[in-house]
Amino acid sequence: MSRPAAILFDLDGTLLDTAPDLGAALNRVLKAEQRPLVSASDYTPIASHGSAGLLRFAYGEAEFEQRKDELRHKFLSFYSEAIAEQTQLFAGVSELLAQLQQQQIPVAIVTNKPTALTVQLLPSFPELAAIEVVVCGDTLAVAKPSPQPLLHATQALQVVAGDCWYVGDAERDIQAGRAAGMRTIVANYGYISAIETPTAWGADSFIETPLELLDLLT
């Protein structure tokens, strides 16, 4: 694998372990309605699917569809009140980003998280705050699995998409990366549920820790 022109990263489940704060917000919504709470072992594997994925899991498809706007509004307001209480960088992310900077490999974030939450969250992590190109779920009219957010990031970085890598922990990440013509890498340490089969997503590589990405550069 030759040296990439840039490496683009998904945020939730790839750079940041956001599941505990996402799960806490979900449980605040449920608690307010005297509903049964969801355990970390249940919400963590679906945390990359955002508010819609978490609420759909807790309420079931029919009730979620019926109450979607109201539930998402409640969830987002709780999440935004306590967005960086328990969230941390995955172990090794800080060293990984420092290494990439040293090797002068540009980095960007392409997330489906809405802009308002992303800009609220990133300043809590100085290692990420230095990343200038950040494309969010509502930056464009379309989000991942569309390749457009990834292509938007490559335009901002002034690099050719086909020379870039995209690292993510969800099938939609790999779909977007493949459609953008990038090398795709599954962050296997992220939020992947037991019923998913990442080996069938068509990715080029898998990493079990963030720092394993460096092995792909050599």
Ligand X SMILES: O=C(O)COP(=O)(O)O
- Can you tell me the distance from the alpha carbon of 14 to that of 10, in angstroms, rounded to the nearest whole number? 6
Total of residues contacting ligand X (CB under 6 A)? 11
Largest CA distance in the chain: 54
Q: Which residues contact 144 (CB under 8 A, 6 or more apart)?
A: 110, 112, 137, 150, 168, 170, 172, 173, 175, 176
Nearer to ligand X, 99 or 115 (CB): 115
* 165 in Cβ contact with 182 (< 8 Å): yes
112 binds ligand X, rule: CB under 6 A: yes
83 near 21, Cβ under 8 Å?
yes
Query: Which residue number, 11 or 108, has a Cβ lying nearer to ligand X?
Result: 11
Q: Is 21 a catalytic residue?
A: no
Task: Build a one-symbol-per-residue string for 52-91: x at contacts with ligand X by CB under 6 A, - elsewhere.
Answer: ----------------------------------------
Instruction: Identify whether the C-beta of residue 182 lies closer than 8 Å to the C-beta of residue 5.
Output: no
* Part of the chain binding ligand X (CB under 6 A), chosen from 11-19, 32-40, 123-131, 151-159: 11-19
Half-sphere exposure of 46 (CA within 13 A, CB side): 17
Q: Binders of ligand X among 169-188, rule CB under 6 A?
A: 170
For position 48 contacting ligand X by CB under 6 A, the verdict is yes
Catalytic residue among 10, 17, 169, 173: 10
Report the DSSP beta bridge partners of residue 161.
none
**Lookup: tokens for 72:** 């998402």
Q: Which residue lies nearer to ligand X by CB, 12 or 171? A: 12
Q: Which stretch binds ligand X (CB under 6 A): 83-91, 92-100, 111-119, 177-185?
A: 111-119
- Catalytic residues, by residue number, are 10
